[in-house]
Structure 1
Amino acid sequence: MKLFSFRPFLRDVVGELLYQVGLTKPAQAGNHYFTIVTFHRVLPENQLKSYPLAEIAVTPEELAWFINVLVTYFTCGPLAENLTRWQTGERTKRPLLAITFDDGQRDNFLYAKPILEAAGIRASFFVVVNNIEHNEMLWHDRLAYALSRAVEQDANITDQRLSQLGITTTTATPRQMIINVVEKAKMLTPAQRLMWISLLEDAVGGPVCPAWDGMMSWQQLQELVQGGHEIGSHSMSHPILPGCSEDQIFDEVNQSRQILQERLNIPVESFCYPNGNYDARTLKALQQAGYHQAVTTQWGPNQLGTSLFTLRRCDIQSQHTRSRTGHLSVSRLAWRLSRFHPPVH
C-alpha cells in the first residue's frame, strides 16, 4: 500500500486509539487546559461552491455537528467570560472552552447565530470595524474573488497579469494558486496589497462580490450583543500588524475598540490579531488601549501561565475532521483539540 493512501487510515486508527484509551477525551485531555476554537465563514453548499477560499468555511450542517459535539464534552461560552472562569479556578462539570468567529461576515449572523441559539450557548465574534462600517469585503476575499474571476475569463492571461505584479505560479489547480497568491499578498504593505487588488479588479471589469456576500451590520451586531454574545475587535482594517508603523498599530487596535464600545454600548475586552501576527509593539499597544486578552492563530489548548495576550486557538475545518470514509469523526476532532496532536501550521 502506498504511503499517501495509508495516511488517512493511520490517522483514523491513531485518533480512535487515543480516544478509546482516554488520552484525548475532553474530560481527561482538557483537564487544567483552556481550549479556544475558531470558525470563519458559515456558508450553505450552493454559496460554498462559489467561494474561492472554501478551506476557511463550514456549512450550517457541519457547524451544527461541531457545536453539538462541543456542548456535549465542554462547557462552552464566549472568550472573556470563560477565560475569567478558568483563570479564577472555577471547577466545571466539563472543561471550559470558548467559541470564536473571526472577521464579522454576514453569514455568521444568518447561519451561526440560529445554531448557537438552538444549542443554548453564546460565542465571541471578532469584527473588522472599517469593513462593518462600509459593508466592504476583507482584502483577502476581494483578492480571491478577483483571481477566481480572472481564471474563469482566461487562465493564461491571469498568469500574465500575476507575472506583471511579480508573482509566478506553478501550482496545478486554480484553487491552490489563489491560496498561494493570498499568502504572498500577506507579505506586502497595506498600500501594496490594495494596489494588487485594484489592478486585478480593474482587469476583470471591476470589484467582484456575489449578491449574497457581505459583512454584518451594526444592527445585527447589536442583536448579537442582546443575545449575550461577545463582540471583540479584529482591528480597523485587517492589516498584518507587524508590517505597520507603531502609530498605525495603535490606531488599529485603539480606534477599533473605541468605535465598537461607542456604537454597541459595551466593554470591548478581547482582540484577535489579523492573520495571527503580532510583535512587541502590538502587545504594548493592546495593553495601552485597555484590552484584557488577545488570541492568536497558534495551535493548541492553553496552559495555566500562558500570556493572556498570546492565547492559542484551534481552527476548526471540516476537511480535517472527517475520517477516511468521509464522515465527521468525534475521535478525530477530540485529537485535534488535544495537546497530543502534532503542531498545525
Structure 2
Amino acid sequence: MRLIKNAIKTFIAYALHYSGLLSLIKNNRLRDRVCVLAYHRILPDAQAAKTNSADAIITESALFRKHLRWLKDEFHIIDMEELQAILLDNQPMAGNSLLVTFDDGWRDNFEHARSALTAEGVPATIFLPYNYIGSGEVFWQEEMLARLTQLNESEAEADQSLLMELAAIEAGAGKELLRRAVTQLKTKPYAEIYQTLERLRAHQPQSAIDMKLDAYMDWQQVNQLGKERISFGSHALSHRILTQIELDEARHEIVESRSLIKEKTGKKIDTIAYPNGNCNPAIEKIVDESGFRLGFTISRGYVAKDSNPMALPRFNIHTNNSSSKPLFLCTVLNIF
C-alpha cells in the first residue's frame, strides 16, 4: 500500500512540475508569504543507514546539495535577520521568499551541511539545545534505540527478557519496530523515560554502544560556523518538550538557554525553535517576555505578516519527502 501511495505521489508531482502548474502554485502561495524549511541531520547514505535517528529527520548529503540548487533556482532565499525585519519592522517582502533552518546542532551539520551551504552561498539558522553542545551527551531517543538494538541482537536470555519487558518486542524484531517503541515513549513522563534508560545503562556496559555518529557539535565548531553565513537560535537546554514539563522548568529552559548560548557564541540570540515543535499560549508568553523575537514550531504552513511571531510554522524536510525536485517542491508548496 505504501509503495502504491508513493507511486501516485510521484506521478502527481511530476505531472504538476512538467505542466508548469507548480510554478503557478508557488507564485500564488508565496506572493506575500515566506516559506521556512526545517532540516535536522545531513548524512551520506552509508552513515544514514547506521544512525539511530529516525528517517523523518535525515536528509542524504548529496540530495541536500541538490535541494540548495533547486531553492536558488525557484525561491528568493533570505536569512533570519531579513525575516525579522519583514515581520517586526514592517519591511517589504519579496515574492517566493524562503528561509533555511536546522534543529538540534548535530555534528553532521558542521561536517556535511556546512560545505554545501558555503558552496551554494545559502544562509541558514541552527537552533541549539545548549546542554548537548560539546557535552558528549546524546538525545535519549538515539541512545535508547542503540541500547535496545544491542539487546535485540544478543542471544543472552536476560537480554531478551529485558527487551520484551521494556519494548514489548521479542528478540529478532526489525529495527523499525524498535524505533516505533522508542517513539511511543515520547508521550510518557520524563521520569519514566529516564528510568527506562537507566535500567538499560545498568544492564549494559557503556562500551556496548557507539554513539559517535549521533553526536552534536562542540562550541569550537559552532563558533566556526558563526564566522560564515550561519546564525543561531535556542532549542532550549535539555530538548525536553516544553509543554510536558512544569511551567517553571520551561521558563528556566527558555531564559537560561538564551543567556548561555549568547555567552558561548558572543552573538544575540533572539529566536527559538520549540523542541519537537510543541508550544502553547503559556510557553509563547514566556518566550516573548524573555526577549525572543520569533518562535518556531514544526506545524506545516507559511509565514505571513500577520502570523503569530511566537508560533511560526515550518516544513520539515527529509529524504523521503524530497528525493526529486518535483517531490521536494510539492512538499515545500504544501501539496503533499
Q: TM-score, normalised by structure 1?
A: 0.87
Structure 2: distance between partners of 1:203 and 1:243:
28
Residue 50 of structure 2 corresponds to residue 50 of structure 1: yes
Compared with structure 1, are the counterparts of its residues 180 and 221 closer, same or farther at alpha carbon in structure 2 (3 Å cutoff)? Answer: same
- Give secondary structure in 2 for the equivalent of 1:307: coil
How many angstroms does 1:150 deviate by? 2.0
Matched ranges for 1:1-345 at <5 A: 5-25=3-23, 26-55=26-55, 56-85=57-86, 88-92=90-94, 95-154=96-155, 160-165=161-166, 167-169=167-169, 174-206=174-206, 208-321=209-322, 328-341=323-336
Structure 1: distance between partners of 2:163 and 2:79:
41
After superposition, the C-alpha distances for 1:176-206 in whole angstroms (9 at most, x for unaligned) are: 2232222222122223222211212333322
How many angstroms does 1:105 deviate by? 1.2
How many angstroms does 1:164 deviate by? 3.1
After superposition, the C-alpha distances for 1:100-144 in whole angstroms (9 at most, x for unaligned) are: 111111111111111100001110101110111412112222122
Structure 2: distance between partners of 1:278 and 1:24:
32
User: Which moved further from structure 2: 6-15 or 29-38?
Assistant: 6-15
Compared with structure 1, are the counterparts of its residues 319 and 170 closer, same or farther at alpha carbon in structure 2 (3 Å cutoff)? Answer: farther
Structure 2: distance between partners of 1:190 and 1:178:
19
AA in 1 matched with 2:190: P
Query: Which stretches of structure 1, 4 residues or longer, exceed 6 Å deviation after superposition?
Result: none
AA in 2 matched with 1:334: L
- Give secondary structure in 2 for the equivalent of 1:16: helix
Compared with structure 1, are the counterparts of its residues 16 and 187 closer, same or farther at alpha carbon in structure 2 (3 Å cutoff)? Answer: same
Structure 2: distance between partners of 1:109 and 1:288:
32
Structure 2: distance between partners of 1:53 and 1:155:
26
8 Å contact kept, 1:48–1:54: no
AA in 2 matched with 1:340: I
Structure 1: distance between partners of 2:80 and 2:9:
30
After superposition, the C-alpha distances for 1:256-302 in whole angstroms (9 at most, x for unaligned) are: 00001111111111111111112222112111211111111112323
8 Å contact kept, 2:243–2:280: yes
Compared with structure 1, are the counterparts of its residues 83 and 19 closer, same or farther at alpha carbon in structure 2 (3 Å cutoff)? Answer: farther
Structure 2: distance between partners of 1:74 and 1:22:
15
8 Å contact kept, 1:82–1:97: no
8 Å contact kept, 2:152–2:171: no
| Percent identical residues | 22
Compared with structure 1, are the counterparts of its residues 5 and 188 closer, same or farther at alpha carbon in structure 2 (3 Å cutoff)? Answer: closer
User: Which moved further from structure 2: 227-236 or 168-177?
Assistant: 168-177
Count of matched residue positions in the alignment of Structure 1 and Structure 2: 331
Structure 2: distance between partners of 1:21 and 1:303:
28
8 Å contact kept, 1:126–1:233: yes
Structure 1: distance between partners of 2:82 and 2:159:
47
How many angstroms does 1:171 deviate by? 12
Structure 2: distance between partners of 1:127 and 1:153:
35
- Give secondary structure in 2 for the equivalent of 1:231: strand
Gap runs ≥5 in structure 2: none
AA in 2 matched with 1:119: E
After superposition, the C-alpha distances for 1:284-327 in whole angstroms (9 at most, x for unaligned) are: 21112111111111123234422111111111111222xxxxxx
Structure 1: distance between partners of 2:297 and 2:19:
31
